[in-house]
Amino acid sequence: MAQPQSLVNRRMVMDWLGIVPFMLFAVLFLILPTLYLVTGAFFNPAGEFTFQNFRDLFQPTIMAAYWISIKVSTASAIGGLLIGFFLAWAITQGGLPGWIRSFVLTFSGVASNFAGVPLAFAFLATLGRTGLLTFILTTYFGFNIYSHGFNLLSFLGLTLTYMYFQIPLMVLIITPALDGLKKEWREAASILGATSFQYWTMVAFPILWPSLLGTFLLLFANAFGAIATAYALTGSSLNIVPIVLYAQIRGDVLHNANLGYAIALGMVIITGVSNFLYIWLRMRAERWQK
């Protein structure tokens, strides 16, 4: 029996009302701020239209900040990709007990969102000059990591800190892709005489490649936009783009907030391209795993 038209219309209204809070949040905190940045990047403090802000992006200090951010984001994304992949492989393909998988996925869900000041404090308390691990290595093993060139407030230290939330994020994203590898594919490869190495290089990795590349781009974008952890950990000793942007808009540099808008627009373009490519690659990967 067909439902009354009034009931169908009422359900459609309720369905649309359900997404109103999300749409309102997206407009207020994503779309409008982005439009404000885009328009502000084309004006100077006097309100005059100009392209000078974009020409100023090629200043050595700003270009160096972009380059440091790209290096940190790339290094932490590669580290998170490799370690996270093998961790996800262990809990999906390695034959470990089910409770280990549940524990790892639960921990990954928490750790992937653990960032900012608490994460910076945790690493300072662990790997700082007076940190717990530094103290143990120095006192009981006679090995001082700082005497051998390590510095938490550096490129390597920030990369290691970022990997704390990059690895669990990788686990959460790649686990469904590994679950999507059908047992029939491995059995067919085995029947045809393929070794485990040949199966992974000729069957599994070609299927997983879009997921792996897409996840790398997502991890890169995730690290590129992070500021709270880096600022709390290194302050201004490591000028990545978000810290330069924060100082610029706050007026600590040249009192030109519009240049800060141009810097932010550059970040939006880089992260936007990364996320777009991630979504496109994820759609290609899902086509294989249906």
Q: Which helix (H) or strand (E) holds 250?
A: helix 241-250
What mean pLDDT do residues 39-52 have? Answer: 89
- Which stretch of 35-39, 79-83, 166-170 has the lowest confidence by average pLDDT? 35-39
Q: Is the pLDDT of residue 287 over 80?
A: no
Residue 5: pLDDT band by 50, 70, 90 thresholds? low
Same domain? For 110 and 156 the reply is: yes
The pLDDT, as a whole number, for residue 119 is 92
Instruction: Summarize pLDDT for 183-206 with one digit per residue, the tens.
Output: 888 889 889 888 888 998 888 888
Yes or no: say if 77 and 219 are a contact pair by the CB < 8 Å rule: yes
Instruction: Indicate whether 262 belongs to any domain.
Output: yes
Same domain? For 107 and 240 the reply is: yes
Instruction: Indicate whether 49 belongs to any domain.
Output: no
Instruction: Indicate whether 47 belongs to any domain.
Output: no
Whole-Å CA distances, 261 to 94, 127, 251, 284 = 48, 35, 12, 34
Is residue 154 helix, strand or coil? coil
The pLDDT, as a whole number, for residue 72 is 94
Yes or no: say if 153 and 233 are a contact pair by the CB < 8 Å rule: yes
The pLDDT, as a whole number, for residue 161 is 94
Instruction: Indicate whether 51 belongs to any domain.
Output: no
Whole-Å CA distances, 274 to 1, 215, 216 = 49, 10, 9
CA distance 120 to 107: 18
What mean pLDDT do residues 98-119 have? Answer: 90
The pLDDT, as a whole number, for residue 288 is 61
The pLDDT, as a whole number, for residue 215 is 92
CATH of residue 131's domain is 1.10.3720.10
Same domain? For 32 and 74 the reply is: no
In eight-state DSSP terms, residue 95 is -
Q: Which two tokens stand for residue 16?
A: 């649309």
Q: Is the pLDDT of residue 2 over 60?
A: no
The pLDDT, as a whole number, for residue 290 is 59
The pLDDT, as a whole number, for residue 169 is 95
Same domain? For 33 and 66 the reply is: no
What mean pLDDT do residues 81-97 have? Answer: 91
Instruction: Indicate whether 7 belongs to any domain.
Output: yes
Same domain? For 16 and 119 the reply is: no
Question: Hey, which of 73-82, 92-101, 147-156 has the most confident mean pLDDT?
Answer: 73-82
Q: Is the pLDDT of residue 132 over 80?
A: yes
Q: Is the pLDDT of residue 6 over 70?
A: no
Yes or no: say if 204 and 181 are a contact pair by the CB < 8 Å rule: yes
Q: Is the pLDDT of residue 1 over 60?
A: no
In eight-state DSSP terms, residue 117 is H
What's the chain's average pLDDT?
87
228: nearest Cα among 169, 165, 134: 165
Instruction: Indicate whether 106 belongs to any domain.
Output: yes
Residue 88: pLDDT band by 50, 70, 90 thresholds? very high
The pLDDT, as a whole number, for residue 126 is 94
The pLDDT, as a whole number, for residue 249 is 74
The single-letter code of the amino acid at 133 is L
244: nearest Cα among 219, 272, 264: 264
Same domain? For 16 and 156 the reply is: no
The pLDDT, as a whole number, for residue 83 is 96
The pLDDT, as a whole number, for residue 217 is 92
Instruction: Indicate whether 229 belongs to any domain.
Output: yes
Same domain? For 61 and 30 the reply is: no
| Number of domains present in the structure of the chain | 2
CA distance 215 to 212: 5
42: nearest Cα among 271, 259, 273: 259
CA distance 94 to 92: 6
CA distance 74 to 68: 10
The pLDDT, as a whole number, for residue 252 is 57
In eight-state DSSP terms, residue 43 is B
Same domain? For 193 and 277 the reply is: yes
Same domain? For 147 and 268 the reply is: yes
Same domain? For 213 and 276 the reply is: yes
The pLDDT, as a whole number, for residue 7 is 62
Domain carrying residue 188: 57-288
Same domain? For 77 and 12 the reply is: no
Same domain? For 104 and 167 the reply is: yes
Instruction: Summarize pLDDT for 227-275 with one digit per residue, the tens.
Output: 888 888 887 778 889 888 887 777 655 567 888 899 989 998 999 899 8
Instruction: Summarize pLDDT for 147-186 with one digit per residue, the tens.
Output: 988 999 889 999 999 999 999 999 999 999 898 888 888 8
Instruction: Indicate whether 94 belongs to any domain.
Output: yes
Yes or no: say if 155 and 238 are a contact pair by the CB < 8 Å rule: yes
